[in-house]
Amino acid sequence: AAGDIEALKAAIEAFEGCPLRFEGAAHQAVFYRGDPAAPLMIVGEGPGAEEDARGQPFVGRAGQLLDRMLAAAGLADRVFITNTVFWRPPGNRAPTPAEQAVCAPFVERAIELVNPKMLLVLGASSAKAVLKKDEGILSLRGRWHEWRSHSGNLELPVMPTLHPAFLLRQPVAKKKVWSDLLTVTERLDRPDRP
């Protein structure tokens, strides 16, 4: 029922239905950063320690890498960034499908409120949660997929790609993500057909 992003943020901060709020999070809910009217919405997996401390997604080492890549692709000021869960999983593990399912209505409402032109999902667990597919990220990435809201009123193209944290461990994979980002930029900048 949230009418805007700030109302949704308040609803998330008050929500006690996700066990991560009491298990992993030391500080606060981590909802978003970026432009609430952005043409590109990025959905990651879940906040880490730095994100939990600062209250914003993708502000640690992986986020700094993401920011550099977005800037190089001309996307820096054109994104809204969130995660599939809003509280840090214990030990920085990936969020479980059950934890993501509890937060999914908030993610969907955020997508409806931002109303982006497309989604970029980072990492295996976010790709599986958003796309409702069991394939691994290496087979999903680099190809367009479709996301549809539960109401059926909104359909968006989705580009899954590798998570920046993976790139910190496997720098050779940066070429794949760069290719995905260029594909996203090209589609975003394509003129709308009448």
**pLDDT digits 0-9 by tens, 85-142:** 999 999 889 999 999 999 999 999 999 999 999 999 999 999 999 999 999 999 999 9
Answering whether pTM is above 0.75, one says yes
Tokens matching residue 109: 């409402």
Angle 61-72/174-189 helices, nearest 10 degrees?
50
The pLDDT of residue 116: 97
Which domains are assigned to the chain?
5-188 (3.40.470.10)
Q: How many CB atoms are located within 10 Å of the residue 29 CB?
A: 24
Q: Is residue 34 pLDDT above 70, yes or no? A: yes
* DSSP state for residue 26 in the 8-state scheme: S
Binning the chain into helix, strand and coil, the percentages to the nearest 5 are: 45, 15, 40
What is the distance between the alpha carbons of residues 117 and 112, in angstroms, rounded to a whole number?
A: 11
